[in-house]
């Protein structure tokens, strides 16, 4: 082992304590080394602690074909921060638990942590500790902690008939990026800039924490907000909000923002299908009073759009004002499901 190049060591060769010592370098020194992290918080009334957990499994959520170690780490962190953003919460810290095969290169594990820190640093969020154990398949489980003013908590159940449905950016880009990674020939006549933009959307999504200050400004004291993120697809998000709120929804096909290149290259029908069901775009789907929605969309720009509205019925429908497509009922059946 002493003669092994340092970057070729496996986690079995380095051992649990050796690996933990290396991973501590990615965490604030004052938060690691004990049985739990003690994070100082200023006690304030009317604040809620927000906690979310997300798990990524090799062969299910990532693979060497499509994702480098750094990209795995970025995506793992981004998925959890996106869940906090979907609640209106400001992140505090995350913990990371790893299940690792013994022959996993230590350099891969450090790459994962490098990717996580690269994402977290953008949002002033740190790794507060975690756990490591042996596993037959590599698994990354993250728990993220944040806080939100109680009266500003975004919840799926807050939707009301007449609310406008807003998305904070384009959809279908991540699904297109995955297609390009799995089948590079798909983009052989696309420009390098076009393919890179879509692949980056898949490998390095950005949680929309940046939009929360704008949202609070335009909302003022107007009341509750319904919403969630679109990590499992736009269709899934709208169905879940409608179901939790006891309402229906109408979504206009022509208003769904998709990358222009997709309509040109794969056709409108497939582009909309990827936008609805492709998933992993990590945008926010918000239900707002119409006047607030218009102001919010104008302030955000960059693909933000009003795509429909909540209704009194319990049906969730995709409509088409041009008449080129028949109205269809949207369900979760085409969205990603683990089982």
Q: Helix (H, G, I), strand (E, B), or coil: what is residue 273?
A: helix
Please state whether beta strands 305-311 and 226-229 pair in parallel, antiparallel, or not at all (unpaired): unpaired
> Does residue 314 have a known ligand-binding role?
no
Residue 16 annotated as binding?
no
270 is in an annotated binding site: no
Rounded CA-CA distance 312/324 in Å is 26
Tell me the C-alpha distance between 83 and 51, whole Å.
9
Tell me if 64 is assigned to a ligand binding site: no
Contact of 259 with 278, CB cutoff 8 Å: no
Determine whether the annotation assigns residue 336 to a binding site.
yes
Confirm whether residue 200 is marked as ligand binding: no
Query: 327 and 320 in contact (C-beta within 8 Å)?
Result: yes
Sequence-distant (6+) residues with CB within 8 A of 178 are: 66, 202, 278, 280
Cα separation, 61 vs 59, in Å, equals 6
- Is 118 annotated as a binding-site member? no
113 is an annotated ligand-binding site residue = yes
Please compute, for residue 29, the number of CA atoms within 13 A of its CA located in the half-sphere on the CB side.
0
Q: Is 130 annotated as a binding residue?
A: yes
Q: Does 231 count as an annotated binding residue?
A: yes
280 carries a ligand binding annotation = yes
According to the annotation, is 103 in a ligand binding site? no
Alpha helices in the chain (DSSP H): 11-14, 16-23, 69-86, 106-121, 173-182, 192-203, 212-219, 234-245, 260-266, 268-277, 290-300
Cβ atoms within 10 A of the Cβ of 332, count? 18
| Residue 327 assigned ligand-binding role | no
Is residue 325 marked as binding?
no
Contact partners, residue 5, CB within 8 Å, separation at least 6: none
Confirm whether residue 245 is marked as ligand binding: no
Q: Which residues belong to the annotated binding site for substrate?
A: 61, 280, 336
Bind-site residues for ATP: 113, 130-131, 156, 231
Q: Which residue ranges make up the annotated binding site for Mg(2+)? A: 35, 52-54, 83, 131, 229, 232
Sequence ranges of the binding site? 35, 52-54, 61, 83, 113, 130-131, 156, 229, 231-232, 280, 336
């Amino acid at each position: 082992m002493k003669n092994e190049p340092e970057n070729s060591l496996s986690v079995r060769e380095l051992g649990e304590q050796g690996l933990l010592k290396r991973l501590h370098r990615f965490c604030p020194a004052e938060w690691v080394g004990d049985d739990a992290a003690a994070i100082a918080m200023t006690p304030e009334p009317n604040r809620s602690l927000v906690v979310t957990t997300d798990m990524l499994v090799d062969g299910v959520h990532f693979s060497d074909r499509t994702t480098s170690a750094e990209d795995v780490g970025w995506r793992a962190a981004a998925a959890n921060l996106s869940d906090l953003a979907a609640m209106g919460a400001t992140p505090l810290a995350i913990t990371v638990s790893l299940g690792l095969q013994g022959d996993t290169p230590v350099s891969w594990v450090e790459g994962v942590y490098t990717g996580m820190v690269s994402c977290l640093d953008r949002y002033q969020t740190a790794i507060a500790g975690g756990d490591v154990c042996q596993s037959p398949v590599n698994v990354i489980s993250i728990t993220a902690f944040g806080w939100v003013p109680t009266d500003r908590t975004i919840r799926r159940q807050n939707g009301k008939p007449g609310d406008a449905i807003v998305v904070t950016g384009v959809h279908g880009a991540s699904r297109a990026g995955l297609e390009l990674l799995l089948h590079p020939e798909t983009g052989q006549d696309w420009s390098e800039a076009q393919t890179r933009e879509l692949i980056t959307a898949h490998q390095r999504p950005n949680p929309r924490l940046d939009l929360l200050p704008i949202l609070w400004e335009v909302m003022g004291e107007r009341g509750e907000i319904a919403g969630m993120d679109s990590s499992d697809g736009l269709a899934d998000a709208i169905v879940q909000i409608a179901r939790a709120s006891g309402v229906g929804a109408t979504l206009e096909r022509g208003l769904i923002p998709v990358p222009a290149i997709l309509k040109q290259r794969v056709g409108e029908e497939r582009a909309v299908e990827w936008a609805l069901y492709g998933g992993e775009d990590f945008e926010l789907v918000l239900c707002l009073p119409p006047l607030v929605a218009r102001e919010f969309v104008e302030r955000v720009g960059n693909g933000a759009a009003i795509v429909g509205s909540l209704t009194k019925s319990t049906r969730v429908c995709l409509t088409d004002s041009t008449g080129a497509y028949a109205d269809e009922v949207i369900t979760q059946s085409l969205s990603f499901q683990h089982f």
